[in-house]
Structure 1
Amino acid sequence: MADQKNHFQPLYDEKQKLLGIVISPELWMAIEKEANPIFDAALATLTGKSPETVEEVPEPMKNFEQFKEYWDFAYELPYDVHCDQCGQQTENWLEDEPRKFRLRNANLGGLLCFTCMKCNASVAKKHFKKHVAVECTPRKTS
């Protein structure tokens, strides 16, 4: 059995006041499905907003625009996205309404990460000088 401190770590300030708790990605993936409704209800109580009115985090479009601004590869920037898990696809993710894929991350290193809105899989497009590598990872629901 793995050491619990590797998966669950309370954080305290210098006066031993609890600041928060860090959990490992593995632990989060194991509990996410059951924990999200609990978090939603608790956040609704703390903020006074129902989960339906809690705004979704906006897509990082400024980062995407910066990525496009510094684009200097030999091929055109591809806008297509495909999910290997459920088969959802689009020729241009920016033009979809509603979105089939939501941009989750964009950086100057050439990485664009999307969430498939149909199955919640993660689609990573890694842009290299001469090619694009795509990885699709299913959402773990254990």
Structure 2
Amino acid sequence: MPPISQHLLELFDAAGAPRGLLVSPELWAKVRDKILPTLEKALYELDPSCRPVPVEKPEPMAEWETLLSYWDFAYPPAYDVSCAHCGASTPDWRADDPRKFRLRNASLGGLVTFQCQACKSLILKKHFKKHLTVECQPYVERC
């Protein structure tokens, strides 16, 4: 890096420790599209609070209603949900306000998934013809 430039200036504090970098508008215009994604990724690692909040999709209630309308299992539908990771539970997920668990998916094959709002774990309710199994998977952040 050139020691002195009108387009790029390294900033140091009184003790000589690096404090930042000043980039001219002209240089930034030339490198912005290539550099910004790398800077954002590094920023999110250093300061996760800077991440944009993802837009929350609405619950797929139509899929849940479709599953209920074609229900042919040997037992009644169960509305209770509990998280094995943080201990959150509810006797009826539909009645909670605010929701403790959000419906993520419901399929005619009998797989119903919920997300715990406390710890973000994924709860899978697998409906078989004569029985129901429940699994709880911990939240894994995708990069």
Which category of TM-score, normalised to the shorter sequence, fits these structures? 0.5 to 0.7
In structure 2, C-alpha distance between the alignment counterparts of 1:36 and 1:135, rounded to whole Å: 29
Aligned-partner SS, 2:94: helix
TM-score (norm 2): 0.62
Aligned-partner SS, 2:115: strand
Moved beyond 3 Å, runs of 4+: 33-39
1:74 aligned residue: 74
Deviations 1:61-108 (A, max 9, x none): 000000000001111100000100000001100000000000001100
CA shift, 1:37, in A, is 5.9
1:36 and 1:64, CA in 2 relative to 1: closer, same or farther beyond 3 A?
farther
Deviations 1:106-127 (A, max 9, x none): 1000000000000000000000
In structure 2, C-alpha distance between the alignment counterparts of 1:60 and 1:141, rounded to whole Å: 22
Task: Map 1:57-136 to 2 at 5 A.
Answer: 57-136=57-136
Q: Any stretches of 5+ residues in structure 1 without a counterpart?
A: 1-32, 41-50
In structure 2, C-alpha distance between the alignment counterparts of 1:110 and 1:71, rounded to whole Å: 9
Aligned-partner SS, 1:79: coil
Structure showing greater radius of gyration is: 2
Report 1 or 2 for greater relative contact order, CA contacts < 8 Å, sequence distance ≥ 6. 1
Aligned length, in residue pairs: 98
The alignment-based identity, stated in percent, is: 50
Deviations 1:7-28 (A, max 9, x none): xxxxxxxxxxxxxxxxxxxxxx
Q: Any stretches of 5+ residues in structure 2 without a counterpart?
A: 1-43
For 1:65, the aligned partner's letter is: E
